[in-house]
């Protein structure tokens, strides 16, 4: 890919990622997940899955932009730090995916599920 096209695509992906995260976060519910008293309100959000999928998609778009820029830098300068940056971005995206799966997607607003999640969260501080 030509250098100008890579930077143009990377900047478009980064801007799109920020917009997607901002839009998805508007529907998040505003409760603090660290506060156990606010968890029922937090869990009752009807947009729970869509919000977390949107945040994840936005993060992936931003990570993709970073990977494109670092890949171009790696090709131009053969920098081992660019390769390390690419690996770090991939690891960050993977850990964000695991976190989204653990905290966001399987969560249900039912009382039994909330009780189960609270017990399980004690295992993963």
Residue ranges of domains in the chain? 3-121
- Which among 29, 42, 68, 23 is positioned nearest to 121, based on CA atoms? 42
Task: Give 73 or 18, the one with higher predicted confidence.
Answer: 18
Answer whether residue 32 shows pLDDT above 80: no
Torsion of CA 89, 91, 97, 100, to 10 degrees: -90
pLDDT, tens digit, 9 for 90 and up, residues 97-112: 887 766 654 444 444 4
Answer whether residue 125 shows pLDDT above 90: no
* DSSP structural state of residue 36: G
- The pTM for the full model equals 0.69
User: Quick one: pLDDT at residue 113?
Assistant: 59
Residue 79 phi/psi, 5° resolution? -80, 125
pLDDT above 90 covers a percentage of the chain that reads 25
């Amino acid at each position: 890919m030509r250098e100008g096209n890579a930077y143009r695509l990377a900047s478009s992906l980064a801007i799109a990622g920020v917009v997607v995260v901002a839009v998805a976060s508007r529907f998040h519910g505003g409760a603090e997940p660290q506060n156990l008293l606010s968890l029922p309100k937090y869990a009752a959000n009807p947009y729970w899955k869509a919000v977390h999928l949107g945040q994840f998609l936005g993060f992936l778009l931003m990570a993709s932009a970073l990977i494109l820029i670092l890949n171009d830098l790696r090709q131009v300068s053969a920098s081992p730090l660019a390769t390390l940056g690419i690996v770090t971005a991939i690891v960050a995206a993977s850990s964000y995916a695991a976190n989204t799966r653990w905290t966001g997607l399987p969560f249900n607003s039912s009382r039994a599920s909330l009780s189960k999640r609270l017990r399980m969260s004690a295992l993963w501080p």
